[in-house]
Amino acid sequence: MSSTLVLGGSNSRHLAFDVSRAIKADYQPVEVKSFPDGETYIRVPAELEGKDVIYVNSLQPNPNSALIETFLALDAIKKHNARKVIAVIPYMAYARQDEEFNPGEAVSAFTVGRLFQSISVDYIITVDMHLHRITDPKRTFGAFVRNVTGVRELSKYVKGHLDISNAVVVGPDEEAEQWASVMAGDLGLAYFVLKKRRISGTEVEVRGELGDVRGRDAIIVDDIISTGGTIVEAVKLLRGAGAGKVHVLCVHPLLVQEAYHKLREMELETLAGTDTVLSPISVVKVAPAIADELKNII
């Protein structure tokens, strides 16, 4: 029996199992139920003393209940004297509210960070946390947070499945440059970044210098696809400029509201995401990136 145990929360049992196999550790799902009044029941293995315990749970879908589940599970793990407690949060919810845009708003990125700090886990590993105004997650979660990227797993997928001989990488807005540059470097391609102007909570305008895109295939990469509005507008702009095949990839396929159907109806050549959040397009495993970071810690 291994001295390392990987526990899977209800949103990430698939990923916890894959991670356990990658690091040659034991695996067990956490027991999660709902009481009749809607409160959450959690039960973790009782025999944890002396073990390194890795708890894996994404905070999507249903971020509010996932947060409660995660905090209850981590606290129970700590109570049962695990030697080391590592929280793997593939998708960190509430990170996008990182500033008080209007007076009186809760800055949820800092609130969630303080809650994680209060449990005193040894490490938090997250994947491509949405970082815009806060560029270092240590500001919100403390020095024990590790932010790994799933873009390199997307790059491997592109290499194995797409013809990139006449392709260019595109970031759909300014925030996506960090991911576009990584993928372009991995693939040995040029990249450019579009500009986004938000009109409302669901409506955006995308524009920008398109460079020499006519007749070339476009590989759009972003961290999150939520409602899909930005991607739809970027695809329209690229096609209007004469782009050839359009491929869309993301790390976190939230695909809320009608996003999946809107994107399918764009007749994209490729629509793929990682499995940080399970969705119809979650075809790329992110476990290798998480496992590499865990091997550095354990």
Question: What separation in angstroms does the CA of 115 have from each of 56, 112, 134?
Answer: 17, 5, 18
Contacts of 167 (CB under 8 A, 6+ apart): 187, 189, 216, 217, 218, 219, 247
Question: What's the count of helices (H) and strands (E) in the chain, helices before strands?
Answer: 9, 16
- 61 prior amide bond cis, ω within 30: yes
Closest of 256, 262, 257, 202 to residue 232, by C-alpha: 262
Amino acid letter at 281? I
In this structure, what token pair is assigned to residue 90?
A: 């593939």
**Per-residue CA distances from 195 to 97, 128, 175 (Å):** 20, 20, 9
C-beta separation of 193 from 208 below 8 A: yes
C-alpha span between 239 and 231 (Å, rounded): 12
Of 111, 112, 53, the residue nearest 84 (C-alpha): 53
Q: Which residues are catalytic?
A: 196
What is residue 30's DSSP assignment? P
